[in-house]
Amino acid sequence: ETGVTQTPRHLVMGMTNKKSLKCEQHLGHNAMYWYKQSAKKPLELMFVYNFKEQTENNSVPSRFSPECPNSSHLFLHLHTLQPEDSALYLCASSQGLAGVQAKNIQYFGAGTRLSVL
């Protein structure tokens, strides 16, 4: 375990459903990230939060809505998804923004495997 927990591990939803993915980190980190992993784009950055503020929205469709209520929790709210959104969604966290300082290594959660029918 890396200290980054994602729930649920698996999720199947219809295109009209609304669901949320949850990420929680117990590492005292200040930065959190959402990535999408699929066969087409193996590790694609979606959102970055630093001290609860969103610093990066990597041209993600509005049907994905992130929420970061505090530095330990990160949500990804899903609505009216498309079948091509089926993928593994990975959460990660780091002490500070990854790359800015040597200590800011990203630790990944185990991911949520999402299937959109």
**In sequence order, what are the beta bridge partners of 51?**
none
Q: How far is the CB of 43 from other proteins (least distance, A)?
A: 4
- Structure tokens, 2: 């890396």
Per-residue DSSP letters for 26-69?
-S--SEEEEEEE-SSSSSEEEEEEETTEEEEE-S--TTEEEEEE
Beta carbon of residue 80, minimum distance to other proteins (angstroms, whole number): 26
* 104/8 Cα distance (integer angstroms): 26
Q: Smallest gap, in angstroms, from Cβ of residue 107 to other proteins?
A: 8
- Whichever of 15 and 58 has its CB closer to other proteins, that residue is 58
Nearest approach, Cβ of 51 to other proteins (angstroms)? 13
Q: What are 48's two structure tokens?
A: 């970055």
Binding interface with other proteins (CB under 8 A): 2, 33, 41-45, 48, 50, 55-56, 58, 90, 97-100, 102, 105-111
**Which residue's entry shows tokens 């939060």?**
49
Pick the closer one to other proteins by CB: 16 or 102: 102
Please identify, using beta-carbon distances, which residue of 7 and 14 lies nearer to other proteins. 7
